[in-house]
Structure 1
Amino acid sequence: MKHKLLAYYKHSLEQSMPPTPAQLSAYYWFKIDFQDDWIGIPKQELDESQLELLKACYDFFQPDETLTKEDYAWNQYLYFNGDQPSFKNIEALRFIQFQIKGDTTSLEKKLIESAFEGFIHANSLIIWNGFNEGVVIEQNAHYLEDEDFIALAQALQSDFFFSICFYIGKEMKLSSPIPTIFGQERNLFSRGLAFMPKSNVLSLETILPNLLISRLREDELELFKEWFSLFEEDKELLLTIKTFIENNGHATNTAKQLFIHRNTLQYRLDKFTEKTGFDLKNYHSYITTYLACLYYTSGK
Protein backbone atom coordinates (compact mmCIF):
# COMPACT_ATOMS: atom_id res chain seq x y z
CA MET A 1 0.00 0.00 0.00
CA LYS A 2 2.85 2.40 0.80
CA HIS A 3 4.35 1.96 -2.66
CA LYS A 4 0.97 2.54 -4.28
CA LEU A 5 0.61 5.82 -2.39
CA LEU A 6 4.06 6.98 -3.46
CA ALA A 7 3.31 6.03 -7.06
CA TYR A 8 -0.12 7.71 -7.08
CA TYR A 9 1.04 10.97 -5.51
CA LYS A 10 4.03 11.73 -7.73
CA HIS A 11 5.51 14.50 -5.57
CA SER A 12 5.13 12.78 -2.21
CA LEU A 13 8.05 12.29 0.19
CA GLU A 14 9.18 9.28 2.18
CA GLN A 15 11.47 9.46 5.21
CA SER A 16 12.29 7.65 8.45
CA MET A 17 11.95 10.68 10.75
CA PRO A 18 8.95 12.81 11.79
CA PRO A 19 8.50 15.94 9.65
CA THR A 20 10.33 19.12 10.55
CA PRO A 21 8.32 22.31 11.17
CA ALA A 22 9.36 23.55 7.73
CA GLN A 23 7.81 20.49 6.08
CA LEU A 24 4.39 20.96 7.68
CA SER A 25 3.29 23.96 5.64
CA ALA A 26 3.35 22.28 2.21
CA TYR A 27 2.68 18.61 3.03
CA TYR A 28 0.20 16.43 4.89
CA TRP A 29 2.13 13.80 6.84
CA PHE A 30 1.14 10.22 7.70
CA LYS A 31 2.88 7.55 9.74
CA ILE A 32 2.64 4.11 8.17
CA ASP A 33 1.78 1.34 10.64
CA PHE A 34 4.05 1.39 13.70
CA GLN A 35 7.35 1.51 11.84
CA ASP A 36 9.74 4.41 11.29
CA ASP A 37 8.08 5.16 7.99
CA TRP A 38 6.66 8.58 7.12
CA ILE A 39 4.96 9.80 3.95
CA GLY A 40 4.38 13.45 3.13
CA ILE A 41 1.82 14.27 0.42
CA PRO A 42 1.66 17.78 -1.10
CA LYS A 43 -1.48 19.55 0.11
CA GLN A 44 -2.43 20.66 -3.40
CA GLU A 45 -2.59 17.01 -4.53
CA LEU A 46 -5.21 16.00 -1.96
CA ASP A 47 -8.87 16.96 -2.01
CA GLU A 48 -10.97 16.85 1.17
CA SER A 49 -12.42 13.37 0.57
CA GLN A 50 -8.98 11.87 -0.11
CA LEU A 51 -7.57 13.49 3.01
CA GLU A 52 -10.37 12.06 5.19
CA LEU A 53 -9.84 8.61 3.69
CA LEU A 54 -6.10 8.68 4.42
CA LYS A 55 -6.78 9.91 7.97
CA ALA A 56 -8.97 6.85 8.50
CA CYS A 57 -6.24 4.50 7.24
CA TYR A 58 -3.08 5.98 8.76
CA ASP A 59 -1.87 8.09 11.66
CA PHE A 60 -2.26 11.68 10.57
CA PHE A 61 0.44 13.96 11.93
CA GLN A 62 -1.16 17.16 13.14
CA PRO A 63 0.68 18.82 16.04
CA ASP A 64 -1.70 20.17 18.65
CA GLU A 65 -0.56 23.65 19.56
CA THR A 66 -2.54 23.53 22.81
CA LEU A 67 -0.43 20.66 24.22
CA THR A 68 1.98 21.44 27.01
CA LYS A 69 5.65 20.61 26.49
CA GLU A 70 5.30 17.40 28.53
CA ASP A 71 2.10 16.34 26.74
CA TYR A 72 3.67 16.99 23.35
CA ALA A 73 6.74 14.89 24.26
CA TRP A 74 4.54 11.94 25.27
CA ASN A 75 2.38 12.32 22.15
CA GLN A 76 5.42 12.19 19.88
CA TYR A 77 6.99 9.32 21.82
CA LEU A 78 3.93 7.06 21.75
CA TYR A 79 2.27 7.88 18.45
CA PHE A 80 5.14 9.02 16.24
CA ASN A 81 8.28 7.30 17.61
CA GLY A 82 9.71 10.54 18.98
CA ASP A 83 12.34 10.94 21.67
CA GLN A 84 11.74 9.43 25.08
CA PRO A 85 10.14 11.88 27.54
CA SER A 86 11.28 12.26 31.12
CA PHE A 87 10.60 9.19 33.27
CA LYS A 88 11.39 11.02 36.48
CA ASN A 89 9.62 9.46 39.50
CA ILE A 90 8.10 6.72 37.30
CA GLU A 91 8.88 3.09 38.15
CA ALA A 92 6.11 1.38 36.17
CA LEU A 93 3.19 2.51 34.06
CA ARG A 94 0.04 1.33 32.33
CA PHE A 95 -1.71 2.79 29.30
CA ILE A 96 -5.47 3.23 29.20
CA GLN A 97 -6.28 4.11 25.61
CA PHE A 98 -9.62 5.71 24.79
CA GLN A 99 -11.60 6.56 21.72
CA ILE A 100 -14.64 8.82 21.55
CA LYS A 101 -17.21 7.80 18.98
CA GLY A 102 -18.84 10.28 16.62
CA ASP A 103 -18.08 13.90 15.78
CA THR A 104 -15.89 15.41 18.50
CA THR A 105 -14.74 18.66 16.86
CA SER A 106 -17.12 20.72 18.98
CA LEU A 107 -16.11 19.13 22.30
CA GLU A 108 -14.00 21.03 24.79
CA LYS A 109 -11.03 18.88 25.75
CA LYS A 110 -10.59 20.71 29.04
CA LEU A 111 -14.13 19.83 30.11
CA ILE A 112 -13.59 16.18 29.24
CA GLU A 113 -10.27 16.17 31.12
CA SER A 114 -12.04 17.61 34.17
CA ALA A 115 -14.45 14.69 34.09
CA PHE A 116 -11.51 12.27 33.81
CA GLU A 117 -9.75 13.87 36.74
CA GLY A 118 -12.72 13.10 38.97
CA PHE A 119 -11.86 9.40 38.56
CA ILE A 120 -8.16 8.94 37.81
CA HIS A 121 -5.23 9.30 40.23
CA ALA A 122 -3.64 12.74 40.60
CA ASN A 123 -0.33 11.65 39.06
CA SER A 124 -1.94 10.18 35.92
CA LEU A 125 -1.41 11.97 32.60
CA ILE A 126 -3.99 12.51 29.85
CA ILE A 127 -2.41 12.65 26.40
CA TRP A 128 -4.51 13.45 23.33
CA ASN A 129 -3.91 12.40 19.74
CA GLY A 130 -6.32 14.45 17.64
CA PHE A 131 -9.90 15.20 18.66
CA ASN A 132 -11.30 11.79 19.49
CA GLU A 133 -8.54 9.56 20.85
CA GLY A 134 -5.87 9.57 23.48
CA VAL A 135 -4.38 7.73 26.41
CA VAL A 136 -4.42 7.95 30.19
CA ILE A 137 -0.97 7.11 31.55
CA GLU A 138 -1.29 5.56 35.01
CA GLN A 139 1.89 5.44 37.05
CA ASN A 140 3.41 3.40 39.87
CA ALA A 141 0.52 0.98 40.47
CA HIS A 142 -2.07 3.75 40.97
CA TYR A 143 -4.45 1.82 38.72
CA LEU A 144 -8.22 1.98 38.48
CA GLU A 145 -10.41 -1.12 38.21
CA ASP A 146 -12.37 -1.97 35.08
CA GLU A 147 -15.56 -1.00 36.92
CA ASP A 148 -14.19 2.52 37.45
CA PHE A 149 -13.76 3.00 33.71
CA ILE A 150 -17.27 1.68 33.08
CA ALA A 151 -18.53 4.30 35.53
CA LEU A 152 -16.44 7.00 33.83
CA ALA A 153 -17.83 6.04 30.40
CA GLN A 154 -21.37 6.27 31.77
CA ALA A 155 -20.66 9.65 33.37
CA LEU A 156 -19.24 11.07 30.14
CA GLN A 157 -22.21 9.82 28.15
CA SER A 158 -24.58 11.39 30.66
CA ASP A 159 -22.79 14.75 30.81
CA PHE A 160 -21.55 15.17 27.23
CA PHE A 161 -23.88 12.90 25.22
CA PHE A 162 -21.16 10.88 23.50
CA SER A 163 -20.02 7.29 23.89
CA ILE A 164 -16.44 6.36 24.71
CA CYS A 165 -14.52 3.10 24.87
CA PHE A 166 -11.41 2.36 26.96
CA TYR A 167 -8.70 -0.24 26.40
CA ILE A 168 -7.03 -1.45 29.61
CA GLY A 169 -3.36 -2.14 28.89
CA LYS A 170 -0.91 -4.22 30.89
CA GLU A 171 1.60 -2.85 33.38
CA MET A 172 5.02 -2.14 31.86
CA LYS A 173 8.41 -1.63 33.43
CA LEU A 174 10.65 1.13 32.08
CA SER A 175 12.94 -1.52 30.60
CA SER A 176 10.13 -2.62 28.27
CA PRO A 177 10.01 -1.51 24.59
CA ILE A 178 7.24 0.91 25.52
CA PRO A 179 6.33 2.48 22.13
CA THR A 180 6.29 -0.96 20.48
CA ILE A 181 3.98 -2.47 23.10
CA PHE A 182 1.81 0.65 23.02
CA GLY A 183 1.48 0.25 19.25
CA GLN A 184 0.53 -3.40 19.62
CA GLU A 185 -2.09 -2.55 22.21
CA ARG A 186 -3.41 0.23 19.99
CA ASN A 187 -3.77 -2.20 17.11
CA LEU A 188 -5.55 -4.70 19.35
CA PHE A 189 -7.84 -1.90 20.58
CA SER A 190 -8.77 -1.13 16.98
CA ARG A 191 -9.67 -4.79 16.39
CA GLY A 192 -11.70 -4.84 19.58
CA LEU A 193 -13.72 -1.80 18.55
CA ALA A 194 -14.71 -3.67 15.39
CA PHE A 195 -15.54 -6.90 17.27
CA MET A 196 -17.44 -5.30 20.16
CA PRO A 197 -18.67 -1.83 19.12
CA LYS A 198 -21.09 -1.59 22.05
CA SER A 199 -18.48 -2.24 24.76
CA ASN A 200 -17.24 0.53 27.04
CA VAL A 201 -14.14 -1.29 28.32
CA LEU A 202 -11.89 -3.65 26.36
CA SER A 203 -8.72 -5.56 27.19
CA LEU A 204 -6.51 -8.34 25.87
CA GLU A 205 -8.68 -10.84 27.75
CA THR A 206 -11.93 -9.65 26.17
CA ILE A 207 -10.59 -9.22 22.63
CA LEU A 208 -8.43 -12.34 22.25
CA PRO A 209 -11.30 -14.89 22.19
CA ASN A 210 -13.04 -12.86 19.46
CA LEU A 211 -9.76 -12.65 17.56
CA LEU A 212 -9.38 -16.44 17.72
CA ILE A 213 -12.90 -16.97 16.39
CA SER A 214 -12.32 -14.51 13.53
CA ARG A 215 -9.29 -16.51 12.35
CA LEU A 216 -10.98 -19.90 12.14
CA ARG A 217 -11.57 -21.29 8.67
CA GLU A 218 -15.11 -21.90 7.48
CA ASP A 219 -14.70 -25.67 7.77
CA GLU A 220 -13.51 -25.24 11.36
CA LEU A 221 -16.49 -23.01 12.16
CA GLU A 222 -18.74 -25.81 10.94
CA LEU A 223 -17.87 -27.62 14.17
CA PHE A 224 -19.60 -24.92 16.19
CA LYS A 225 -22.64 -25.14 13.92
CA GLU A 226 -22.75 -28.88 14.48
CA TRP A 227 -22.23 -28.95 18.24
CA PHE A 228 -24.08 -25.77 19.20
CA SER A 229 -26.86 -25.62 16.62
CA LEU A 230 -29.41 -25.07 19.41
CA PHE A 231 -27.99 -21.53 19.86
CA GLU A 232 -29.32 -20.74 16.40
CA GLU A 233 -32.79 -21.83 17.44
CA ASP A 234 -32.84 -20.65 21.06
CA LYS A 235 -31.45 -17.11 21.46
CA GLU A 236 -32.67 -16.99 25.05
CA LEU A 237 -30.51 -19.98 25.93
CA LEU A 238 -27.55 -18.43 24.09
CA LEU A 239 -27.85 -15.23 26.15
CA THR A 240 -28.22 -17.25 29.34
CA ILE A 241 -25.11 -19.38 28.77
CA LYS A 242 -23.00 -16.42 27.63
CA THR A 243 -24.06 -14.33 30.64
CA PHE A 244 -23.39 -17.25 33.01
CA ILE A 245 -19.85 -17.69 31.69
CA GLU A 246 -19.13 -13.95 31.74
CA ASN A 247 -20.19 -13.93 35.39
CA ASN A 248 -17.59 -16.62 36.10
CA GLY A 249 -20.28 -19.23 36.69
CA HIS A 250 -21.84 -17.22 39.54
CA ALA A 251 -25.49 -18.28 39.51
CA THR A 252 -26.88 -15.50 41.71
CA ASN A 253 -25.24 -12.69 39.70
CA THR A 254 -26.33 -14.30 36.43
CA ALA A 255 -29.94 -14.69 37.52
CA LYS A 256 -30.01 -11.11 38.79
CA GLN A 257 -28.57 -9.75 35.54
CA LEU A 258 -31.08 -11.72 33.44
CA PHE A 259 -34.01 -10.92 35.79
CA ILE A 260 -34.87 -14.60 36.24
CA HIS A 261 -35.20 -16.95 39.22
CA ARG A 262 -32.24 -19.15 40.08
CA ASN A 263 -34.37 -22.24 39.45
CA THR A 264 -35.07 -20.97 35.92
CA LEU A 265 -31.36 -20.46 35.41
CA GLN A 266 -30.58 -23.99 36.61
CA TYR A 267 -33.24 -25.40 34.30
CA ARG A 268 -31.61 -23.68 31.30
CA LEU A 269 -28.12 -24.85 32.31
CA ASP A 270 -29.34 -28.43 32.62
CA LYS A 271 -31.11 -28.12 29.26
CA PHE A 272 -27.89 -26.92 27.64
CA THR A 273 -25.84 -29.84 29.02
CA GLU A 274 -28.50 -32.36 28.06
CA LYS A 275 -28.78 -31.08 24.47
CA THR A 276 -25.06 -30.58 23.76
CA GLY A 277 -23.20 -32.91 26.09
CA PHE A 278 -21.00 -29.99 27.25
CA ASP A 279 -20.73 -29.76 31.04
CA LEU A 280 -19.94 -26.20 32.14
CA LYS A 281 -18.27 -27.57 35.28
CA ASN A 282 -15.49 -28.83 33.00
CA TYR A 283 -12.82 -26.25 32.20
CA HIS A 284 -12.34 -27.25 28.55
CA SER A 285 -16.09 -27.34 27.92
CA TYR A 286 -16.34 -23.92 29.54
CA ILE A 287 -13.81 -22.38 27.13
CA THR A 288 -15.20 -24.11 24.04
CA THR A 289 -18.75 -23.08 24.88
CA TYR A 290 -17.74 -19.46 25.36
CA LEU A 291 -16.07 -19.39 21.94
CA ALA A 292 -19.28 -20.80 20.48
CA CYS A 293 -21.27 -18.07 22.23
CA LEU A 294 -19.02 -15.43 20.68
CA TYR A 295 -19.44 -17.00 17.27
CA TYR A 296 -23.24 -16.98 17.50
CA THR A 297 -23.36 -13.40 18.81
CA SER A 298 -20.90 -12.05 16.22
CA GLY A 299 -23.56 -11.83 13.53
CA LYS A 300 -21.82 -14.33 11.22
Structure 2
Amino acid sequence: MKHKLLAYYKHSLEQATPPTPSQLSDYYWFKLDFQDDWIGIQKQEIDVSQLELLKACYDFFQPDETLEKEEYSWNQYLYFNGEQPSFKNIETLRLIQFQIKGDSASIEKKLIESAFDGFIHANSLIIWNGSNEGVVIEQNAQYLEEEDFIALAQALQSDFFFSICFYIGKELKLNSPVPTVFGQERNLFTKGLAFMPKSIVLSLETILPNLLISRLREDELELFKEWFSIFEEDKELLLTIKTFIENNGHSTNTAKQLFIHRNTLQYRLDKFTEKTGFDLKNYHSYITTYLACLFYTSGK
Protein backbone atom coordinates (compact mmCIF):
# COMPACT_ATOMS: atom_id res chain seq x y z
CA MET A 1 0.00 0.00 0.00
CA LYS A 2 2.84 2.42 0.83
CA HIS A 3 4.37 2.05 -2.62
CA LYS A 4 0.99 2.67 -4.26
CA LEU A 5 0.56 5.89 -2.28
CA LEU A 6 4.02 7.08 -3.24
CA ALA A 7 3.34 6.27 -6.89
CA TYR A 8 -0.11 7.89 -6.91
CA TYR A 9 0.97 11.11 -5.23
CA LYS A 10 3.95 12.07 -7.36
CA HIS A 11 5.36 14.73 -5.04
CA SER A 12 4.93 12.76 -1.79
CA LEU A 13 7.77 12.35 0.69
CA GLU A 14 8.87 9.33 2.72
CA GLN A 15 11.03 9.46 5.82
CA ALA A 16 11.79 7.60 9.04
CA THR A 17 11.30 10.56 11.40
CA PRO A 18 8.29 12.73 12.32
CA PRO A 19 7.84 15.88 10.21
CA THR A 20 9.60 19.05 11.23
CA PRO A 21 7.55 22.24 11.75
CA SER A 22 8.70 23.54 8.35
CA GLN A 23 7.25 20.43 6.65
CA LEU A 24 3.73 20.95 8.02
CA SER A 25 2.74 23.95 5.91
CA ASP A 26 2.80 22.24 2.49
CA TYR A 27 2.24 18.56 3.36
CA TYR A 28 -0.23 16.31 5.17
CA TRP A 29 1.67 13.69 7.15
CA PHE A 30 0.66 10.12 7.98
CA LYS A 31 2.32 7.47 10.15
CA LEU A 32 1.70 4.17 8.39
CA ASP A 33 2.23 1.76 11.29
CA PHE A 34 3.97 1.41 14.63
CA GLN A 35 7.35 1.37 12.87
CA ASP A 36 9.17 4.57 11.88
CA ASP A 37 7.49 5.01 8.50
CA TRP A 38 6.16 8.45 7.57
CA ILE A 39 4.62 9.71 4.34
CA GLY A 40 3.99 13.35 3.51
CA ILE A 41 1.47 14.16 0.77
CA GLN A 42 1.51 17.59 -0.81
CA LYS A 43 -1.68 19.42 0.15
CA GLN A 44 -2.42 20.58 -3.38
CA GLU A 45 -2.30 16.96 -4.62
CA ILE A 46 -5.10 15.62 -2.43
CA ASP A 47 -8.81 16.44 -2.27
CA VAL A 48 -11.05 16.43 0.81
CA SER A 49 -12.54 12.96 0.26
CA GLN A 50 -9.11 11.38 -0.23
CA LEU A 51 -7.82 13.11 2.89
CA GLU A 52 -10.69 11.78 5.00
CA LEU A 53 -10.11 8.25 3.67
CA LEU A 54 -6.41 8.36 4.54
CA LYS A 55 -7.22 9.72 8.01
CA ALA A 56 -9.44 6.67 8.56
CA CYS A 57 -6.65 4.29 7.49
CA TYR A 58 -3.55 5.81 9.07
CA ASP A 59 -2.46 8.03 11.94
CA PHE A 60 -2.86 11.60 10.75
CA PHE A 61 -0.21 13.93 12.17
CA GLN A 62 -2.05 17.00 13.36
CA PRO A 63 -0.44 18.38 16.52
CA ASP A 64 -3.03 19.53 19.04
CA GLU A 65 -1.31 22.63 20.35
CA THR A 66 -4.17 23.28 22.77
CA LEU A 67 -2.75 20.53 24.99
CA GLU A 68 -0.71 21.44 28.02
CA LYS A 69 3.06 21.24 27.48
CA GLU A 70 3.47 17.92 29.34
CA GLU A 71 0.46 16.36 27.62
CA TYR A 72 1.66 17.55 24.22
CA SER A 73 5.14 16.06 24.69
CA TRP A 74 3.66 12.69 25.73
CA ASN A 75 1.23 12.76 22.79
CA GLN A 76 4.09 13.31 20.33
CA TYR A 77 6.28 10.69 22.05
CA LEU A 78 3.68 7.90 22.09
CA TYR A 79 1.72 8.48 18.90
CA PHE A 80 4.37 10.00 16.65
CA ASN A 81 7.69 8.80 18.13
CA GLY A 82 8.68 12.31 19.12
CA GLU A 83 11.28 13.25 21.70
CA GLN A 84 11.15 11.46 25.03
CA PRO A 85 9.42 13.51 27.75
CA SER A 86 10.88 13.87 31.21
CA PHE A 87 10.85 10.61 33.18
CA LYS A 88 11.60 12.42 36.43
CA ASN A 89 10.28 10.48 39.46
CA ILE A 90 9.04 7.66 37.18
CA GLU A 91 10.45 4.17 37.78
CA THR A 92 7.86 2.08 35.94
CA LEU A 93 4.76 2.88 33.93
CA ARG A 94 1.72 1.18 32.43
CA LEU A 95 -0.24 2.47 29.44
CA ILE A 96 -4.02 2.14 29.58
CA GLN A 97 -5.55 2.93 26.21
CA PHE A 98 -9.17 3.97 25.90
CA GLN A 99 -11.53 4.47 23.01
CA ILE A 100 -14.91 6.12 23.20
CA LYS A 101 -17.50 4.48 20.98
CA GLY A 102 -19.88 6.65 19.02
CA ASP A 103 -19.88 10.43 18.64
CA SER A 104 -17.86 12.05 21.39
CA ALA A 105 -17.15 15.34 19.62
CA SER A 106 -19.92 17.12 21.52
CA ILE A 107 -18.57 16.04 24.91
CA GLU A 108 -16.04 18.29 26.60
CA LYS A 109 -12.78 16.55 27.42
CA LYS A 110 -12.58 18.33 30.76
CA LEU A 111 -15.86 16.73 31.87
CA ILE A 112 -14.59 13.28 30.92
CA GLU A 113 -11.29 13.94 32.68
CA SER A 114 -13.14 14.96 35.83
CA ALA A 115 -14.87 11.57 35.81
CA PHE A 116 -11.50 9.86 35.30
CA ASP A 117 -10.03 11.78 38.24
CA GLY A 118 -12.49 10.09 40.58
CA PHE A 119 -10.90 6.72 39.78
CA ILE A 120 -7.27 7.05 38.65
CA HIS A 121 -4.35 7.85 40.94
CA ALA A 122 -3.30 11.47 41.38
CA ASN A 123 0.03 11.03 39.58
CA SER A 124 -1.55 9.39 36.51
CA LEU A 125 -1.65 11.38 33.27
CA ILE A 126 -4.45 11.49 30.69
CA ILE A 127 -3.17 11.99 27.15
CA TRP A 128 -5.67 12.55 24.31
CA ASN A 129 -5.27 11.74 20.63
CA GLY A 130 -8.26 13.34 18.95
CA SER A 131 -11.72 13.48 20.49
CA ASN A 132 -12.42 9.80 21.11
CA GLU A 133 -9.19 8.05 22.05
CA GLY A 134 -6.29 8.46 24.40
CA VAL A 135 -4.16 6.80 27.02
CA VAL A 136 -3.89 6.91 30.80
CA ILE A 137 -0.25 6.74 31.93
CA GLU A 138 -0.08 5.01 35.30
CA GLN A 139 3.19 5.36 37.21
CA ASN A 140 5.26 3.51 39.79
CA ALA A 141 2.99 0.48 40.26
CA GLN A 142 0.00 2.61 41.28
CA TYR A 143 -2.25 0.63 39.00
CA LEU A 144 -6.01 0.17 38.94
CA GLU A 145 -7.62 -3.26 38.80
CA GLU A 146 -9.83 -4.45 35.95
CA GLU A 147 -12.90 -3.97 38.18
CA ASP A 148 -11.99 -0.28 38.59
CA PHE A 149 -12.03 0.27 34.83
CA ILE A 150 -15.36 -1.51 34.54
CA ALA A 151 -16.76 0.79 37.24
CA LEU A 152 -15.32 3.84 35.43
CA ALA A 153 -16.90 2.74 32.14
CA GLN A 154 -20.26 2.28 33.83
CA ALA A 155 -20.01 5.73 35.45
CA LEU A 156 -19.20 7.39 32.11
CA GLN A 157 -22.10 5.64 30.41
CA SER A 158 -24.45 6.71 33.19
CA ASP A 159 -23.30 10.34 33.22
CA PHE A 160 -22.54 10.99 29.55
CA PHE A 161 -24.49 8.28 27.69
CA PHE A 162 -21.61 6.84 25.69
CA SER A 163 -19.68 3.58 25.96
CA ILE A 164 -15.93 3.25 26.35
CA CYS A 165 -13.46 0.39 26.10
CA PHE A 166 -10.07 0.11 27.84
CA TYR A 167 -6.93 -1.82 26.95
CA ILE A 168 -4.68 -2.69 29.90
CA GLY A 169 -1.04 -2.69 28.80
CA LYS A 170 1.89 -4.43 30.45
CA GLU A 171 4.17 -2.76 32.97
CA LEU A 172 7.15 -1.11 31.26
CA LYS A 173 10.60 -0.25 32.57
CA LEU A 174 12.19 3.02 31.57
CA ASN A 175 14.73 1.23 29.37
CA SER A 176 11.89 -0.29 27.33
CA PRO A 177 11.20 0.98 23.78
CA VAL A 178 8.01 2.63 25.04
CA PRO A 179 6.65 4.07 21.75
CA THR A 180 7.25 0.77 19.93
CA VAL A 181 5.51 -1.29 22.61
CA PHE A 182 2.68 1.23 22.73
CA GLY A 183 2.26 0.96 18.95
CA GLN A 184 2.12 -2.83 19.17
CA GLU A 185 -0.44 -2.68 21.97
CA ARG A 186 -2.47 -0.11 20.06
CA ASN A 187 -2.53 -2.41 17.04
CA LEU A 188 -3.65 -5.28 19.27
CA PHE A 189 -6.33 -3.07 20.84
CA THR A 190 -7.75 -2.35 17.37
CA LYS A 191 -7.97 -6.08 16.66
CA GLY A 192 -9.59 -6.69 20.05
CA LEU A 193 -12.28 -4.09 19.37
CA ALA A 194 -13.12 -5.97 16.17
CA PHE A 195 -13.13 -9.40 17.85
CA MET A 196 -15.02 -8.36 20.99
CA PRO A 197 -16.95 -5.14 20.32
CA LYS A 198 -19.04 -5.48 23.48
CA SER A 199 -16.08 -5.83 25.83
CA ILE A 200 -15.32 -3.12 28.36
CA VAL A 201 -11.75 -4.12 29.28
CA LEU A 202 -9.30 -5.81 26.92
CA SER A 203 -5.72 -7.04 27.32
CA LEU A 204 -3.15 -9.25 25.65
CA GLU A 205 -4.57 -12.23 27.55
CA THR A 206 -8.14 -11.68 26.34
CA ILE A 207 -7.28 -10.81 22.74
CA LEU A 208 -4.58 -13.38 21.92
CA PRO A 209 -6.84 -16.48 22.08
CA ASN A 210 -9.31 -14.79 19.71
CA LEU A 211 -6.45 -13.82 17.42
CA LEU A 212 -5.29 -17.44 17.33
CA ILE A 213 -8.78 -18.65 16.42
CA SER A 214 -9.08 -16.06 13.65
CA ARG A 215 -5.92 -17.36 12.00
CA LEU A 216 -6.84 -21.04 11.86
CA ARG A 217 -7.54 -22.50 8.43
CA GLU A 218 -10.97 -23.84 7.59
CA ASP A 219 -9.79 -27.46 7.79
CA GLU A 220 -8.36 -26.77 11.25
CA LEU A 221 -11.61 -25.18 12.38
CA GLU A 222 -13.40 -28.34 11.25
CA LEU A 223 -11.72 -30.12 14.17
CA PHE A 224 -13.56 -27.87 16.61
CA LYS A 225 -16.81 -28.58 14.81
CA GLU A 226 -16.21 -32.31 15.13
CA TRP A 227 -14.97 -32.49 18.71
CA PHE A 228 -17.27 -29.86 20.18
CA SER A 229 -20.42 -30.28 18.12
CA ILE A 230 -22.40 -30.37 21.36
CA PHE A 231 -21.89 -26.60 21.64
CA GLU A 232 -23.83 -26.15 18.41
CA GLU A 233 -26.72 -28.15 19.82
CA ASP A 234 -26.64 -26.90 23.41
CA LYS A 235 -26.02 -23.14 23.77
CA GLU A 236 -26.74 -23.31 27.49
CA LEU A 237 -23.88 -25.76 27.93
CA LEU A 238 -21.59 -23.54 25.85
CA LEU A 239 -22.33 -20.55 28.11
CA THR A 240 -21.81 -22.70 31.21
CA ILE A 241 -18.42 -24.05 30.15
CA LYS A 242 -17.15 -20.67 28.93
CA THR A 243 -18.24 -18.97 32.15
CA PHE A 244 -16.67 -21.74 34.25
CA ILE A 245 -13.30 -21.33 32.50
CA GLU A 246 -13.43 -17.53 32.67
CA ASN A 247 -14.00 -17.86 36.42
CA ASN A 248 -10.80 -19.94 36.64
CA GLY A 249 -12.74 -23.10 37.39
CA HIS A 250 -14.32 -21.60 40.51
CA SER A 251 -17.63 -23.40 40.91
CA THR A 252 -19.25 -21.03 43.41
CA ASN A 253 -18.54 -17.91 41.35
CA THR A 254 -19.70 -19.61 38.17
CA ALA A 255 -22.97 -20.82 39.69
CA LYS A 256 -23.61 -17.38 41.15
CA GLN A 257 -22.97 -15.65 37.82
CA LEU A 258 -25.25 -18.06 35.96
CA PHE A 259 -27.93 -18.00 38.71
CA ILE A 260 -27.89 -21.80 39.03
CA HIS A 261 -27.31 -24.25 41.88
CA ARG A 262 -23.83 -25.75 42.25
CA ASN A 263 -25.31 -29.20 41.74
CA THR A 264 -26.75 -28.04 38.40
CA LEU A 265 -23.33 -26.71 37.42
CA GLN A 266 -21.66 -29.99 38.30
CA TYR A 267 -24.25 -31.89 36.26
CA ARG A 268 -23.46 -29.76 33.21
CA LEU A 269 -19.69 -30.16 33.70
CA ASP A 270 -20.08 -33.94 33.92
CA LYS A 271 -22.32 -33.91 30.85
CA PHE A 272 -19.68 -31.99 28.89
CA THR A 273 -16.91 -34.43 29.81
CA GLU A 274 -19.11 -37.43 29.01
CA LYS A 275 -20.14 -36.08 25.59
CA THR A 276 -16.73 -34.76 24.46
CA GLY A 277 -14.12 -36.74 26.37
CA PHE A 278 -12.43 -33.51 27.48
CA ASP A 279 -11.71 -33.38 31.21
CA LEU A 280 -11.53 -29.77 32.43
CA LYS A 281 -9.20 -30.84 35.25
CA ASN A 282 -6.57 -31.41 32.57
CA TYR A 283 -4.54 -28.31 31.66
CA HIS A 284 -4.40 -29.00 27.90
CA SER A 285 -8.10 -29.87 27.74
CA TYR A 286 -8.84 -26.64 29.59
CA ILE A 287 -7.05 -24.51 26.98
CA THR A 288 -8.43 -26.41 23.99
CA THR A 289 -11.97 -26.20 25.33
CA TYR A 290 -11.67 -22.45 25.87
CA LEU A 291 -10.54 -21.96 22.27
CA ALA A 292 -13.54 -24.02 21.18
CA CYS A 293 -15.81 -21.78 23.25
CA LEU A 294 -14.37 -18.70 21.55
CA PHE A 295 -14.88 -20.31 18.15
CA TYR A 296 -18.55 -21.05 18.84
CA THR A 297 -19.20 -17.57 20.26
CA SER A 298 -17.36 -15.75 17.46
CA GLY A 299 -20.23 -16.17 14.99
CA LYS A 300 -18.14 -18.09 12.44
| Shorter-chain TM-score range | over 0.9
- Quick one: distance in 2 between partners of 1:36 and 1:209? 28
Alignment of structure 1 residues 34-53 onto 2, 5 Å: 34-53=34-53
TM-aligned CA deviation for residue 254 of structure 1: 1.1
**Aligned: 1:182 with 2:179:** no
Give the paired residue count: 300
Alignment of structure 1 residues 119-268 onto 2, 5 Å: 119-268=119-268
Percent of residue pairs bearing the same amino acid type: 90
- Quick one: distance in 2 between partners of 1:253 and 1:44? 61
TM-aligned CA deviation for residue 160 of structure 1: 0.9
**Aligned: 1:68 with 2:68:** yes
Deviations along 1:174-213, one digit per CA (max 9) or x if unpaired, are 0111111111111111111111110000011111111111
| TM-score calculated relative to the size of structure 1 | 0.97
TM-aligned CA deviation for residue 26 of structure 1: 3.0
| TM-score calculated relative to the size of structure 2 | 0.97
- Quick one: distance in 1 between partners of 2:164 and 2:229? 35
**Aligned: 1:275 with 2:275:** yes
- Quick one: distance in 2 between partners of 1:247 and 1:36? 41
Checking the alignment, whether the CA contact within 8 Å between 2:35 and 2:180 is kept in structure 1 is: no
RMSD, aligned α-carbons: 1.2
TM-aligned CA deviation for residue 10 of structure 1: 2.1
Which SS does the other structure have where 1:30 is aligned?
Answer: strand
TM-aligned CA deviation for residue 249 of structure 1: 1.0
Q: Letter of the 2:162 partner, please give it.
A: F
**Aligned residue in 1 for 2:27:** 27
**Aligned residue in 2 for 1:5:** 5
**Aligned residue in 2 for 1:99:** 99
TM-aligned CA deviation for residue 23 of structure 1: 2.8
Checking the alignment, whether the CA contact within 8 Å between 1:75 and 1:129 is kept in structure 2 is: yes
- Quick one: distance in 1 between partners of 2:247 and 2:284? 17
TM-aligned CA deviation for residue 48 of structure 1: 3.2
> Aligned in 2, Cα 1:106/1:26: closer, same or farther, shift over 3 Å?
farther
- Quick one: distance in 1 between partners of 2:159 and 2:44? 40
Checking the alignment, whether the CA contact within 8 Å between 1:62 and 1:130 is kept in structure 2 is: no
TM-aligned CA deviation for residue 60 of structure 1: 0.8
- Quick one: distance in 1 between partners of 2:276 and 2:63? 56
> Aligned in 2, Cα 1:299/1:248: closer, same or farther, shift over 3 Å?
same
